[in-house]
Amino acid sequence: MTFPLYCAEPARRDTARHLAERFGLEPVRQRPEAGYWLELGPERLELVTTGRHGAVYAEFVEGAARHRREQGGGRGQPVAKAIGLKGARVLPRVVDATAGLGGDSFVLASLGCTVILLERSPVAAALLYDALERARVHPDTVEIAARMTLVHDDAIRWLAETATRPAAERPEVVFVDPMFPDTDKKSAAAKKGMQAFQQVIGDDLDSAALLACALEAATVRVVVKRPLRGPAIEGVRPSAVLEGKSTRFDLYVIRALRPAGAADAP
């Protein structure tokens, strides 16, 4: 079933057509009267619905993203430690297998990592694409956005294919943050007005298969982000756990990143 895209700004009809073709959305001439739809306005693309929820969009320039850029915890923050940045000499190539609205990818790209953002939902991928386009033309974010590449694909397929390549062509780190069918993340996200996103995307019921492919593709480690008290992904046990205030990172270490000051291999 395709997802509706309504263009509310006549001057942006070409962009709407491009988005519809690229992400398999269904252009509609009238604003829908019920359900969820994507709406392209003069500023940005939003996921909207009638009534209950506020609009949802991805954002790398203003708001929380600006705050993170200006006040973020650098390499000392939990996500940076989790992917192994503390003390690392070479910044890893990261694949964010569950990009969503790109919040985690943006933090990692802000810290200097190159990030491939995999997203299978056409709705989330379109929202990400729009936010990246805006970030690419803003002076504060142009360099960060240049390190972020969006791929609209299923990560299980993409990682399985990548795992067959030589190590030099594979990512050092794969980051995974699925939508679990539990309540922790739902209540946390609900607070942020993200119910619409969850309703549209649904739960990710194939996380075990995703973790297995991530472990085959990564050369250094796989990091799974979880609510503090949420269950680990079934299957392989994490080799280490890093706890934050409300979030936990389960680490599946394959090998260590080269530490700062280490000599290059001969």
Residue ranges of the binding site: 119-120, 177
Tokens of 155: 């990560």
Binding of ligand SAM at residue 116 (CB under 6 A)? no
Residues of the binding site for S-adenosyl-L-methionine: 119-120, 177
Residues in the chain: 266
| Interaction pattern, residues 60-99, with ligand SAM; x per rule: CB under 6 A | --------------------------------------x-
Q: Which is nearer to ligand SAM, 80 or 179 (CB)?
A: 179
Q: How far, in whole angstroms, is CA 228 from its chain's centroid?
A: 19
Give the residue at shortest CB distance from ligand SAM: 100
Interface with ligand SAM (CB under 6 A), residue from 204, 242, 244, 251: 204
Binding of ligand SAM at residue 56 (CB under 6 A)? no
CB of 25 to ligand SAM, least distance (A): 15
Interface with ligand SAM (CB under 6 A), residue from 84, 102, 122, 171: 102
Q: Which amino acid is at 201?
A: I
Interface with ligand SAM (CB under 6 A), residue from 20, 82, 132, 156: 156
CB of 238 to ligand SAM, least distance (A): 18
Interface with ligand SAM (CB under 6 A), residue from 119, 130, 172, 250: 119
- What is the residue whose two structure tokens read 């394959």? 254
Binding of ligand SAM at residue 216 (CB under 6 A)? no
d(CA 206, CA 103): 22
Binding of ligand SAM at residue 59 (CB under 6 A)? no
Could you tell me the CA-to-CA distances from 189 to 31, 51, 258 in Å, in that order?
26, 18, 36
Burial per residue of 241-250, b for 16 or more beta-carbon CB atoms within 10 angstroms, e otherwise: eeeeeebbbb
Q: Which amino acid is at 73?
A: G
Binding of ligand SAM at residue 174 (CB under 6 A)? no
CB of 202 to ligand SAM, least distance (A): 8
Binding of ligand SAM at residue 155 (CB under 6 A)? yes
Compute how many residues bind ligand SAM; rule: CB under 6 A: 20
Q: Which is nearer to ligand SAM, 133 or 184 (CB)?
A: 184
d(CA 136, CA 118): 18
Q: Which is nearer to ligand SAM, 20 or 65 (CB)?
A: 65
Binding of ligand SAM at residue 201 (CB under 6 A)? yes
Q: Which residues bind ligand SAM (CB under 6 A)?
A: 98, 100-104, 118-121, 124, 154-156, 177-179, 201, 204, 210
